[in-house]
């Protein structure tokens, strides 16, 4: 089995400031990327910005800027966000790069060669904000405007010459593909929506526009620019040096293992994208996971409601691990979920500060005081010690399965329960009493609890990378050993050198903060 793993985020429109929704997609993808590295996979994790199309051109014009200069400035905000969120992405792609241009021309030519493109005339509804075409039954009247029922954004009537992709002939092939690959679309509730939509019958898709110029020109007919979604989706193979399909990157990483996206863009990823690829004689990705919507106090975040929670502000105030943990603990991955500052504080205090943070702090200070700040060496473990360690080790296959099914919430629950159990074990074992009674016993307890702290830290590392790294550094444990083999190995801590100082992990948030 190949040990390569390719994971992507959506590429973001850089037309405004990055918000919580962008942060969420990116954090989720980062957690899976980091987890696969712990599983010792060769991981390629891609993110980037989606810079062509009418929406960006309009926005640039509003700001009196040339679209490329406008994108250069705004794309940088998203690049900085990757640092701010502590993403471990291996690449950051911009659709204005040459490598992407070549790749889009490459896929276009393949679709021409396969006979899947023809020239015609489009007339119908279009939303610039969603960069999407809508059918009559997908729009409604609202306050005197026509809007999309699903996104609420305004649509306008379009009539222009357009190239079309013969999507209509791919319906049966897509249904067969979904059937043969039952986990292609997750969660399965979303899969049902997609299947129903395809079963209704697909119409050919307009894939070029003539009423503006900000995009990749259609080869041999530069009156047209290529539809921004065909352009954008292709980013996932541009990063693998497509159209060269013989290079190692493409060979090792395509088809992608996992596209993490929001539910709003499922149709593009689960219908258009595999159809384009099948027509271009390329494999579709292995999985598309559509996560839910982040709500603020149960409502969609919007400027007019004044309920926008800014990821950067939260990170500056409380820390990046705190935001990462809170978002994925609180919001059930496939569903919509509400976030609020009150819940954030409770979650940081109870799970991070009082549970994992407190466990590390109290054990390390006990060792400093009572063992010359060195981890005691003692393999004389009793049943209770072994049970504590074995329970975690025996759960590893289950935990791997959870993560490979993107069951992130359950994973966190299980790992957190280990931390809770470890705190309880430390209390119940009373090393402070054993210190006077039976020094060897105290050493066995400390040996055990330190092993467990190491193991929990490895398991939590994909979610809270900074804090767990601090803990592992305190243990003189090298970052390169953060993997599952190290969990099973009880001989990989140094007992001869002193522990490093543990920096504060999570400050407790007081009410007025
Ligand atoms: N450019 C396209 C994606 C092209 S991928 C080939 C796009 N960009 S976007 O900037 O509008 O948003 C991208 C993603 O941000 C959404 O799919 C979703 O993943 C995320 N979110 C935006 N707002 C969100 C919430 N309020 N909640 C959760 N995620 C949402 O669409």
Residue 301 CA to residue 23 CA, distance in Å, equals 14
| pLDDT-derived band at 197, boundaries 50, 70, 90 | very high
Which residue has the CA at smallest separation from atom 5 of ligand 1?
10
Q: Of 253, 270, 291, which residue sits at a domain end?
A: 291
Asked whether the predicted pLDDT for residue 160 surpasses 90, the reply is yes
Cβ(260) – ligand 1 distance below 6 Å: no
User: What is the model's pLDDT at position 512?
Assistant: 61
User: Is the distance from CB of 218 to CB of 182 less than 8 angstroms?
Assistant: no
User: What is the model's pLDDT at position 453?
Assistant: 98
Which residue has the CA at smallest separation from atom 7 of ligand 1?
12
The reply to whether 154 falls in a domain is yes
> 359: domain CATH number?
1.10.730.10
Q: What is the position in ligand 1's atom list of the atom closest to the CA of 260?
A: 19
Residue 63 CA, ligand 1 centroid: distance in Å = 22
Cβ(276) – ligand 1 distance below 6 Å: no
Asked whether the predicted pLDDT for residue 513 surpasses 70, the reply is no
The owner of tokens 């569903």 is 335
Query: Which of 47, 100, 265, 276 should be mutated for ligand 1, with most atoms under 8 A from CB?
Result: 265
Asked whether the predicted pLDDT for residue 303 surpasses 70, the reply is no
The reply to whether 299 falls in a domain is no
pLDDT tens per residue across span 15-73: 888 999 999 999 999 999 999 999 999 999 999 999 999 999 999 999 999 999 999 99
| pLDDT-derived band at 302, boundaries 50, 70, 90 | low
Q: Do 94 and 213 belong to one domain? A: yes
Cβ(233) – ligand 1 distance below 6 Å: yes
From residue 341, how far is each of 141, 302, 509 by CA, in Å? 35, 16, 11
Rounded to an integer, the average pLDDT of 66-81 is 95
Pick the range with the lowest mean pLDDT from 129-143, 173-187, 314-328, 423-437: 129-143
**What angle (nearest 5°) sits at the alpha carbon of residue 249, between those of residues 244 and 251?**
75
User: Is the distance from CB of 283 to CB of 312 less than 8 angstroms?
Assistant: no
User: What is the model's pLDDT at position 49?
Assistant: 98
Cβ(6) – ligand 1 distance below 6 Å: no
User: What is the model's pLDDT at position 99?
Assistant: 98
Q: What is the span of the domain harbouring residue 473?
A: 341-488
Q: Do 246 and 348 belong to one domain? A: no
> 280: domain CATH number?
3.40.50.620
The reply to whether 34 falls in a domain is yes
The token pair at 181 is 């690959």
Total domains in the fold of the chain: 2
Q: Of 291, 324, 353, which residue sits at a domain end?
A: 291
Residue 294 CA to residue 373 CA, distance in Å, equals 44
pLDDT tens per residue across span 304-338: 677 778 999 999 999 999 999 999 999 999 999 99
pLDDT tens per residue across span 450-484: 999 999 999 999 999 999 999 999 999 999 999 99
DSSP state of 480: G
C-alpha closest to that of 289 among 194, 399, 406 = 406
The reply to whether 148 falls in a domain is yes
**What angle (nearest 5°) sits at the alpha carbon of residue 84, between those of residues 82 and 241?**
10
The reply to whether 301 falls in a domain is no
Q: Do 285 and 396 belong to one domain? A: no
User: What is the model's pLDDT at position 378?
Assistant: 79
Percentage of residues in the chain having pLDDT higher than 90: 89
The reply to whether 303 falls in a domain is no
Q: Do 114 and 243 belong to one domain? A: yes
Instruction: Give me the chain's average pLDDT, please.
Output: 95
Asked whether the predicted pLDDT for residue 2 surpasses 90, the reply is no
| pLDDT-derived band at 364, boundaries 50, 70, 90 | very high
Cβ(336) – ligand 1 distance below 6 Å: no
Residue 261 CA, ligand 1 centroid: distance in Å = 7
CB-based contacts of 411, cutoff 8 Å, min separation 6:
399, 402, 403
Residue 13 CA to residue 17 CA, distance in Å, equals 10
Task: Write the burial class of residue 177 (CB in 10 Å: 0-12 exposed, 13-18 middle, 19+ buried).
Answer: middle
Rounded to an integer, the average pLDDT of 232-239 is 98
| pLDDT-derived band at 268, boundaries 50, 70, 90 | very high
Which residue has the CA at smallest separation from atom 17 of ligand 1?
262
Residue 254 CA, ligand 1 centroid: distance in Å = 23
Q: Do 70 and 156 belong to one domain? A: yes
The reply to whether 328 falls in a domain is no
User: What is the model's pLDDT at position 301?
Assistant: 76
């Amino acid at each position: 089995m190949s040990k390569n793993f390719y994971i992507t985020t959506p590429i973001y429109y850089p037309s405004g400031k990055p918000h919580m929704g962008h942060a969420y997609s990116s954090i989720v993808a980062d957690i899976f990327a980091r987890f696969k590295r712990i599983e010792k996979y060769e991981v390629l994790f891609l993110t980037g910005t989606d810079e062509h199309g009418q929406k960006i051109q309009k926005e640039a014009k509003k700001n009196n800027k040339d679209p490329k200069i406008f994108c250069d400035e705004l794309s940088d905000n998203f690049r900085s966000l990757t640092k701010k969120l502590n993403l471990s992405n291996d690449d950051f792609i911009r659709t204005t790069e040459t490598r992407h241009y070549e790749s889009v021309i490459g896929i276009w030519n393949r679709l021409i060669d396969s006979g899947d493109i023809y020239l015609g005339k489009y007339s119908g509804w279009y939303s610039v904000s969603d960069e999407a075409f809508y059918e009559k039954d997908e729009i409604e009247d609202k306050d005197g405007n026509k809007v999309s029922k699903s996104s609420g954004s305004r649509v306008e009537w379009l009539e222009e010459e357009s190239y079309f992709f013969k999507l209509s002939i791919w319906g049966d092939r897509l249904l067969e593909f979904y059937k043969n690959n039952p986990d292609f679309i997750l969660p399965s509730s979303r899969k049902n929506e997609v299947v129903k939509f395809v079963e209704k019958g697909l119409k050919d898709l307009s894939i070029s526009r003539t009423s503006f110029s900000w995009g990749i020109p259609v080869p041999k007919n530069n009156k047209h620019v290529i539809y921004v979604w065909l352009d954008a989706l292709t980013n996932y193979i541009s990063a693998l040096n497509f159209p060269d399909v013989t290079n190692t990157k493409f060979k090792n990483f395509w088809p992608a293992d996992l596209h993490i996206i929001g539910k709003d863009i499922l149709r593009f990823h689960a219908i258009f994208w595999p159809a384009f690829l099948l027509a271009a004689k390329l494999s579709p990705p292995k999985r598309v996971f559509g996560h839910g919507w982040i709500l603020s106090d149960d409502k969609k975040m919007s400027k007019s409601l004044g309920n926008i929670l800014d990821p950067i502000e939260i990170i500056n105030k409380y820390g990046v691990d705190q935001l990462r943990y809170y978002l994925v603990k609180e919001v059930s991955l496939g569903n919509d979920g509400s976030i609020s500052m009150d819940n954030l504080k409770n979650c940081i205090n109870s799970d991070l500060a009082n549970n994992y943070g407190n466990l590390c702090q109290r054990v390390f200070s006990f060792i400093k005081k009572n063992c010359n700040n060195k981890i005691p060496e003692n393999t004389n473990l009793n049943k209770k010690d072994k049970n504590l360690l074995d329970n975690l080790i025996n759960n590893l296959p289950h935990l791997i399965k959870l993560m490979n099914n993107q069951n992130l919430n359950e994973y966190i629950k299980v790992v957190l329960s280990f931390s809770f159990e470890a705190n309880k074990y430390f209390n119940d074992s009373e090393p402070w009493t054993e210190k006077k009674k039976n020094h060897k016993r105290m050493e066995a307890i400390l040996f055990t609890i330190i092993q467990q702290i190491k193991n929990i830290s490895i398991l939590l590392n994909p979610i809270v990378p900074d804090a767990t790294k601090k803990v592992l550094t305190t243990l003189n444990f090298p970052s390169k050993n953060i993997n599952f083999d190290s969990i099973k190995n009880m001989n990989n801590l140094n007992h001869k050198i002193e522990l490093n100082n543990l920096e504060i992990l999570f400050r407790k948030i007081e009410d007025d903060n």
